[in-house]
Structure 1
Amino acid sequence: MIVIAHVSDIHIDAGERATARTRAVLRHLEELPYDLAAVLVSGDIADHADPAEYDRARALLTGRHPLVVCPGNHDDRAAFRAGLGPLLHEEGDPAPAAPVDQVLRGDGFVLAVCDSSIPGKHDGYLEDSTLERLDRVLTDTPRDTPVLVAFHHPPVPLNTPYVDEIRQFGEERLAALAARHPHLTAFLAGHAHTAAATTFAGRPLLVAPGVVNTIRLPWEQPSPDSPYVHRDALPGVAFHVLDAEGRLTTHYRTVPVGG
């Protein structure tokens, strides 16, 4: 059984709130009586892409499990690389402003991480070089090995208008690529600050909950002080489980903060 923990949107800044929530989630994973195959943090590591924020994030993102982090729309590629370089699984020597594309090859699975960020913008798009690299990874991976593809921006609407406006676009190119590779098992994303499950290109699309906060859905009651997010909702984590039959199951958990 392969278990991958998936967290997202930690938004580390100069304050203590995001740090405390991130620390609680990572401590929860560290104290599990099970060795995880990987821990994926799918974007928005820093809130303002400040070097000091990445220094703080790097000190937090430690533990005994293999770790993969990818950028989101709040991150800056060059600052991300400079601050988190030792944590990255890049191949070759990419330029500072190039997409931060990574591959983690585990025992019985491959996690292909694609940079969907667009410098200077909040919506997402996979550059041609990213899709070409992903195509090579899938081609070079045996057909009996499941490949999970991760990025920050979901490539479909999630019925959250303020997030859907800045989702990943140009998704038809990714769908065409997926059609050529049946061992592409699922897509993993963040960005939406809510636990969600849907489909894309005939595969599961699994969205991790936000650590820093949880988005309010359109049919939920807003509050005067925070109309768009639940600031008091607990941070969460998704556990993606690949069993011996190749079936993927996802469990979502919340994590207490403090204590």
Structure 2
Amino acid sequence: MRVVQITDAHLYADTAARSRAGIPWRQFQQVLSAVVTEKPDIVLFTGDVSQDESAASYALAVEALEQLPCPWYWLPGNHDQPEFMAAERPMVDQVDLDSWRILMLNTQVEGKPHGELGSERQDQLAEQLKSDDRPTLIAMHHPPVNVGAMWMDAIGLQDRDAFWELLSQHPHVKIILFGHVHQAYAEHRRIGEATIDVYGCPAMADQFMPGAEEFAIDEASRPGYRIIDLARSDTQESEWQSWIERID
């Protein structure tokens, strides 16, 4: 089962509009073309679809995403307008992959760059994890870990301690995917007797400089996406591989 993560397209209604280091619509199309060649079984879009937060930007995104040869799902980032997203394509909080399950976790705080679950969404996550012990992948926008860039770490998931405390009770959570950071990231986090692989993903648009104390664009890096190959299994002993691909 091949899962592809894309994230942080930052589209405008104007397809010719420029970002700091490129034209988002062009980069978006290039990444999607590369993703198609990977023959994915499912694509996950982990937020910041839009930059100008216009209804037209989401309509453009959906028109292009509908050309993918597989199901795709999205969740909002800090720049997004969930009501515009839902009008174009309903958002789901769970995807069934037979022996695996994906949870689409909304961490958006309206009007703020940082993320937070809050008590209501944390309770919902707890119920989802209690109800099914299949190997689980959680997709979210904000990173639940520090990635080593001071300015970015300040706007990650604010209630991460509560998040990790919850996950410590559910060793069937195997993988976490996040966006927001505009760079590749990988960490193997040990919790009790379990290990969770935590992965960040390059943006479809501009890339951020790893390790920067203040906001900085990485002009030497390129847009990309993450591949996760999940082994099919009828047991809880599941295996996977994950890596980053970038466009030329």
TM-score interval for Structure 1 and Structure 2 normalised by the shorter chain: 0.7 to 0.9
Which ranges of structure 2 fall in alignment gaps of 5 or more residues?
17-22
SS in 2 for 1:68: strand
| 2-structure distance, mates of 1:149, 1:73 | 18
Q: Which moved more, 1:205-214 or 1:59-68?
A: 59-68
1:15 alignment counterpart: 15
Percent of aligned pairs with the same residue? 22
Q: Deviations over 1:182-223 (max 9, x none)?
A: 111111101000010124554111001111011112469x9x
1:56 aligns with 2:47: no
1:42 alignment counterpart: 46
1:216 alignment counterpart: 209
Q: How far did 1:118 drift?
A: 0.2
1:153 alignment counterpart: 142
User: CA-atom RMSD, angstroms?
Assistant: 2.0
1:78 aligns with 2:83: yes
Q: How far did 1:40 drift?
A: 0.8
1:137 aligns with 2:128: yes
- The amino acid that maps onto 2:51 is D
Aligned length: 232
Cα 1:39–1:78, aligned 2, differ >3 Å: closer, same or farther? Answer: same
| 2-structure distance, mates of 1:126, 1:219 | 26
| 2-structure distance, mates of 1:83, 1:20 | 21
Q: How far did 1:58 drift?
A: 1.3
Which ranges of structure 1 fall in alignment gaps of 5 or more residues?
90-101
1:183 to 172, 175, 182: 172
| 1-structure distance, mates of 2:224, 2:201 | 8
- The amino acid that maps onto 2:142 is H
Q: Which moved more, 1:127-136 or 1:178-187?
A: 127-136
Q: Deviations over 1:1-22 (max 9, x none)?
A: x221111101111233211111
1:106-121 aligned at under 5 Å gives the runs 106-121=97-112
- Checking the alignment, whether the CA contact within 8 Å between 2:149 and 2:212 is kept in structure 1 is no
Q: Deviations over 1:73-132 (max 9, x none)?
A: 1012222222333xx22xxxxxxxxxxxx1111122111011111001000001322222
Q: How far did 1:231 drift?
A: 4.2
Q: How far did 1:52 drift?
A: 1.3
* TM-score normalised by length of structure 2: 0.86
